[in-house]
């Protein structure tokens, strides 16, 4: 299988970027597709972490406003994992450690890699590196974030059972916390043995 990028043009540059590709690719039945165009939303790659305290059996979720949720019929304030865009020269592990301090005032003691996944490869190149992080939840909470990044982030410490209920009731309604909580449900006992 092969593909040919015939042209790539930047069509928008703002907080994020948009590119228009003209391309063609090989077909499963043989031969090549006709030329076609696709727009690609480019926001960079990101890393996220679900902080978990195995002794208290509690997770840390952050709540913040998300413009992408405005027209969904539900609240644009979402419960999420801690996350951030990868900066050049920084690893995913460095990113989640930095973001945990900035967004939740939390120090990650250990990290477990959950997975890397494509967010929506039909229209964006973003790839997420997702982790579970060992934290101590004592003293965590409040409002955090970086002022010059317009962050207004409320930190919630919730019991494991409450987080599972949030998953089942659709309160967790974006990919990062859904994937992370499903992973925690399968790995909780192992993490308690490993980290407690």
C-beta separation of 27 from 3 below 8 A? no
Q: Using CA atoms in the order 167, 116, 124, 122, what is the torsion angle rounded to 10 degrees?
A: -80
What is the per-residue pLDDT across 94-143, written as a single tens digit (0 to 9) for each?
999 999 999 999 999 999 999 999 999 999 999 999 999 999 999 999 99
Beta carbons of 134 and 121 less than 8 angstroms apart: no
Catalytic residues: 149
Per-residue pLDDT reduced to its tens digit, 142-187 = 999 888 888 899 999 999 999 999 999 999 999 999 999 999 999 9
Q: What is the mean pLDDT of residues 79-104?
A: 97
Cα separation, 80 vs 163, whole angstroms:
11
pTM: 0.93
What mean pLDDT value characterizes the chain? 96
Among 184, 196, 186, residue whose Cα is nearest residue 160: 184
Could you tell me the residue ranges of all domains in the chain? 3-42, 46-195
C-alpha 48/C-alpha 128 separation (Å) is: 7
Q: What angle do CA 87, 111, 175 make, to 5 degrees?
A: 65
What pLDDT shows up at residue 15? 87
Write down the pLDDT at residue 169.
Answer: 97
Its CATH architecture, for the domain 46-195, is: Alpha-Beta Complex (3.90)
Q: Is the dihedral of CA 174, 117, 123, 14 positive or negative?
A: positive
In this prediction, residue 80 carries a pLDDT of 98
Residue 188 is given by DSSP the state H
- At residue 189 the predicted structure's pLDDT band, cuts being 50, 70 and 90, is very high
């Amino acid at each position: 299988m092969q593909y040919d990028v015939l042209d790539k043009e930047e069509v928008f540059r703002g907080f994020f970027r948009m590119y228009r590709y003209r391309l063609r690719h090989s077909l499963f039945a043989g031969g090549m597709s006709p030329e076609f165009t696709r727009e690609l939303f480019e926001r960079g790659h990101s890393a996220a972490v679900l902080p978990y305290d195995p002794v208290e059996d509690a997770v840390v979720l952050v709540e913040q406003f998300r413009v992408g949720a405005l027209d969904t019929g539900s609240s644009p304030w979402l419960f999420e994992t801690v996350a951030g865009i990868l900066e050049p020269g920084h690893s995913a592990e460095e990113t989640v450690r930095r973001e945990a301090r900035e967004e939740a005032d939390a120090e990650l003691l250990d990290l477990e890699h959950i997975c890397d996944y494509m967010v929506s490869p039909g229209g964006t190149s973003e790839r997420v590196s997702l982790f579970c992080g060992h934290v101590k939840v004592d003293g965590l909470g409040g409002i955090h974030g970086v002022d010059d990044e317009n962050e207004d982030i409320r930190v919630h410490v919730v019991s494991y059972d409450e987080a599972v209920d949030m998953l089942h009731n659709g309160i967790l309604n974006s990919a990062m916390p859904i994937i992370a909580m499903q992973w925690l449900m399968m790995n909780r006992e192992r993490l308690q043995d490993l980290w407690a």
